[in-house]
Structure 1
Amino acid sequence: MTRRRRKSLLILPLLLAACADTDLVRTASDPRAGFAFVADGTRRATGADSVWARSAAEIAATEARVRGLVHGKTIGPDTAVQVALMNNRALQAAYAGLGLSATELWEVALGPVPTLNISLGQTGLTRSAEATIAAALIELSTQKPRKALAETRFRQAQLRALGETVALAAETRRAWIDAVAAFEAAALIAQTQATADAASELAAELGRTGAMNRGDQAREHVFTAELAAERADARLEAQLAKERLTRLMGLWGTDVSYYVPDRMPALPGRQPGRSDAERLALEHRVDLAIGRLELQAIAQHYRLSGSTRMLSDAEILAGVEVEREDEAVRARVVEVGFEIPLYDTGKLAARKGELEYMRAAHRLAQQAINARSEARSAHAAVTGQYRIARHWRDEVLPLRRVIDEEALRTYNGMLTSTFDLIADAREGLDAQLSTAEAKADYWRAEADLTAVIWGGNPKGGDE
């Protein structure tokens, strides 16, 4: 082996060790690398704190805090969300996934491992040295782009963890609404059943005296029987809805001994909604941010040159391949801007890179179009459900109360029969249930709007 080759072998481990990025290693090796971003985004999106428990002691402390929040207490939606973000194990698994992504970034930041393989024999030694030097030089030459790609993937992992957190918060809030609405319906049916039971007892007494025949008695009794079935169904629905909320909060054992209110909160005094929901969605949606980073990752992987232009999502979907010269026209086409960078793919040696990039660009463009539509729909749902709920509360229920009062007055004056009183009670119950459901629908729409703006799952779903 020549002196020059021997010298290269001696210098090679030093070069490999020197290429480690100490600042990036320090960041990626942190036990909670990237979690500060998730915690800050969670706080802005939900108002709650996210918790990443990394040890048995931290898990025990979290469980003790959760128990203090829920055991034997009636919890509101904010408490339910906070408990879920602290105690849901599927979310903790998502945070572990963020940690795994950090370790991958850490590995790339350390650079190539300085190793040297030497085989016996003069010819074999020479060839082995040459192959080691060549491999090391390749590692060194690709270190910078590989590190940039690893950082992009890590940022995507942060956004995915944030998206999982926001989705869980939205699902938990909706589950709380469903549980409370179910208990409110059960309570309304129970109130009406008390009136029906009294009428049924009266019918039985009249039957014993001969003042009411068996057919009329049966009509009185059937209403009571139907209400009993409806009440049992409502109680079961409330129990199942609460159990789903319990699952999302990660509770078991004695910690399930908590309560939810028997009725939904009152409607706000002013009509809610966010007229700028579309703009907020384009600014905050984590799926759009992940899509942008995916374009960046593809450009880094295929060594695409710098961004040559920016096109809107609508222009991408329309198949625009040239820049517009009239910017005023573009402004009229897209009121709320969401621009997608287009890299120069004309000089690509591989057709695959060009096609993969454009596929991701079109997907992102469609995501932006969907986000706009979902934001507009969520805003319309909030304002519409609010008006519907107010109509039931301010128009229908007052009229129903007048009817009930008059029915009771005429019944006491022997002007109407028990049948009429029962029929009015049935109609009154339907109006109360519809009013309660309209109020619950408003609160669901309010929760969905927040989810749409931040990219969480607006409709929820079982684990």
Structure 2
Amino acid sequence: MRPLALAGMALLASGCATIQKERGHAEVAALVEERIGRKTRWNQGTPEDAEVSRHLDTLLADDLSSDHAVEVALLNNPALQATYEDLGVSQADMVQAGLLTNPTLSGSIGFPISNEGVSETEFSLVQEFVDLFTLPLRKRVAKEQFIADTLRVAHEALATAAEVRKTYSQVQARQQLVELRRMVLVAADSAAELATLQFGAGNITELELANERAAAEEARLDLAQEELALVEDREHLTRLLGLWGPRTQWSITQKLPAPPDEEVPLEHLESLAIRQRLDIDAARKQVELLWNALELSRSTRFFGRVEVGVHTHRDANGPRLFGPTLSLDLPIFDQRQAVIAKLEAQHRQGERRLTELSVNARSEVRAARARLLTLRGVAERYRHVVLPLREKVLSQTQLQYNAMQLGLYVLLEAKRSQVTAWRAYIEAVRDYWMARADLERLVGGRLPSTSAETDTAPALPAAPAPTTDHASHPGHGPGVSP
């Protein structure tokens, strides 16, 4: 009995494993920090979470930058925190795959019905034997699944970071667009007030007065819609950051930066994406683990359950018997052909999905690169050509107005055109930064070089708000100071 007891203890020790709650999270944090320079953290209800909470308050107390917004989301986004729990589920599956099945202890006792004879006892201890040989391969499959799940979780963290950067740029642009809309409203109200005075003096027709009043009302409605869009964009970013209560009062004062003077190198981005994308790496791991699972099923297809153990028995009037037992499942009907066929199909399916993901990644990178370069060209065209021309048109119109060669409404129209050009420029810059965040997501991390991203957008033009006074301007009715 002593050798059997020692063998049973060794068997028990080989089947034991423990859950390490932090396992996988360090790998996710390292992958994310390597690609975007920001850390993740899994909230576990520990005292360290209070320290993280204080750090969040520090990040939100000052002006919120794009990098700080990403850091807040990685630490606090509820959906991302739920995704982190997938690592716990995957690790539990991995530990379970490394456990041996429990031995089966059975016994029986029979009592004599009459007064003659003695009781009869029977006991057996049985252990599944095939588990010992398949354990290493099962553990390998489960470990590869855990690695694949770790890569997927890290990929979700990177996707969240990219979405935060896009929404942050959207909020920055929307704030500047609201500012422009307010400028337009001030100018439109001034023009409507001036038109009222000129109509009272008999210098313009009722049609011209109605046009200016309508333009002022439309400007007021445009401002209301822009302000609503700003609220919606702020709430979108707030949801991504996982904020509520007083923490929703964050502020962004930084202007939307102009595209850098020199674009980062955009060659070989397809190869970078294939090499760096975590979802592609996870798909590779999935194909590998399916192949190993297939090999496991093939290697055991002719083995059913194989149970070995010990058995002791005492007949009613005989000696106690002790000896080994062996129980075999005969693979006559079920040779795991269905399981093997399923795994073969899943393996081929995994290979096709990996190919699809790789092909799509290359195509998406090319399209995103083209979009980034086009939007950069559009923004530069506005900044270096259209805006200076609009400024020149406005200044020349101002000169001709001062020389009484043009009417006031021509000058106001020039100012409106200038503001419209600025709006288009801000939208082009916003789209550029959003496209850049998309491209970084598609290549699986930061672009090759990001050192020239601190250029600041040019200042907005002065508010084109003409005001009325009581001086008379020959040929123009009541005088104005444009």
Q: Which TM class, normalised by the smaller chain length?
A: 0.7 to 0.9
- Please say if residues 382 and 442 of structure 1, whose CA atoms lie closer than 8 Å, have aligned partners that are also in contact: yes
State the distance in 1 between where 2:267 and 2:427 align. 25
State the distance in 1 between where 2:264 and 2:63 align. 26
Show the counterpart of 1:91: 80
Runs of 4+ in 1 over 6 A off after TM superposition: none
- Within-5 A mapping of 1:208-223: 208-223=200-215
Amino acid at match of 2:348: M
Show the counterpart of 2:434: 444
Show the counterpart of 1:119: 107
State the distance in 1 between where 2:222 and 2:89 align. 50
Identity among equivalent pairs (%):
28
User: How far off is 1:348 after superposition?
Assistant: 11
State the distance in 2 between where 1:7 and 1:246 align. 66
* Runs of 5+ unmatched residues, structure 1: 1-5, 307-346, 457-463
State the distance in 2 between where 1:152 and 1:83 align. 31
The change in CA–CA distance for 1:194 and 1:408 in structure 2 (over 3 A counts) is: farther
| Cα deviation 1:180-208 (Å, max 9, x = unaligned) | 11111111121232222222221111122
User: How far off is 1:236 after superposition?
Assistant: 0.9
* Runs of 5+ unmatched residues, structure 2: 111-119, 299-336, 447-482
| Cα deviation 1:132-173 (Å, max 9, x = unaligned) | 23x2x1221221111111101110111111011101101111
Residue 411 in structure 1 maps to residue 401 in structure 2: yes
Task: Please report the TM-score for the alignment, with normalisation by the length of structure 1.
Answer: 0.80
- Within-5 A mapping of 1:298-313: 298-303=290-295
Amino acid at match of 1:90: A
Show the counterpart of 2:5: 10
Deviates more, 1:203-212 or 1:234-243: 203-212
Show the counterpart of 2:14: 19
Show the counterpart of 2:182: 190
Residue 59 in structure 1 maps to residue 54 in structure 2: no
Show the counterpart of 1:39: 29
| Cα deviation 1:367-398 (Å, max 9, x = unaligned) | 11111111222222222211111011101110
1:104 to 70, 87, 93: 93
Residue 230 in structure 1 maps to residue 230 in structure 2: no
Aligned to 1:55, the other structure's residue is in SS state coil
Aligned to 2:105, the other structure's residue is in SS state coil
Aligned to 1:119, the other structure's residue is in SS state strand
User: How far off is 1:245 after superposition?
Assistant: 0.4
Amino acid at match of 1:117: L
Show the counterpart of 1:145: 137
1:264 to 256, 271, 277: 256
Task: Please report the TM-score for the alignment, with normalisation by the length of structure 2.
Answer: 0.77
- Please say if residues 281 and 371 of structure 1, whose CA atoms lie closer than 8 Å, have aligned partners that are also in contact: yes
User: How far off is 1:279 after superposition?
Assistant: 0.9
Amino acid at match of 1:384: T
Aligned to 2:108, the other structure's residue is in SS state coil
Show the counterpart of 1:459: none
| Cα deviation 1:198-236 (Å, max 9, x = unaligned) | 222211111222222322111122221111111111111
Aligned to 1:120, the other structure's residue is in SS state strand
State the distance in 2 between where 1:247 and 1:352 align. 41
The change in CA–CA distance for 1:124 and 1:248 in structure 2 (over 3 A counts) is: farther
Residue 161 in structure 1 maps to residue 153 in structure 2: yes
- Within-5 A mapping of 1:292-371: 292-303=284-295, 350-371=340-361
Residue 48 in structure 1 maps to residue 43 in structure 2: no
- Please say if residues 272 and 382 of structure 1, whose CA atoms lie closer than 8 Å, have aligned partners that are also in contact: no
- Please say if residues 269 and 443 of structure 2, whose CA atoms lie closer than 8 Å, have aligned partners that are also in contact: yes
Aligned to 1:303, the other structure's residue is in SS state helix
Amino acid at match of 2:213: H
Higher helix share: 1
- Please say if residues 32 and 158 of structure 2, whose CA atoms lie closer than 8 Å, have aligned partners that are also in contact: yes
User: How far off is 1:177 after superposition?
Assistant: 0.9
State the distance in 2 between where 1:168 and 1:349 align. 37
User: How far off is 1:270 after superposition?
Assistant: 0.4
The change in CA–CA distance for 1:101 and 1:280 in structure 2 (over 3 A counts) is: same
State the distance in 2 between where 1:427 and 1:287 align. 46
Deviates more, 1:350-359 or 1:218-227: 350-359
The change in CA–CA distance for 1:120 and 1:187 in structure 2 (over 3 A counts) is: same
How many residue pairs end up in the alignment? 399
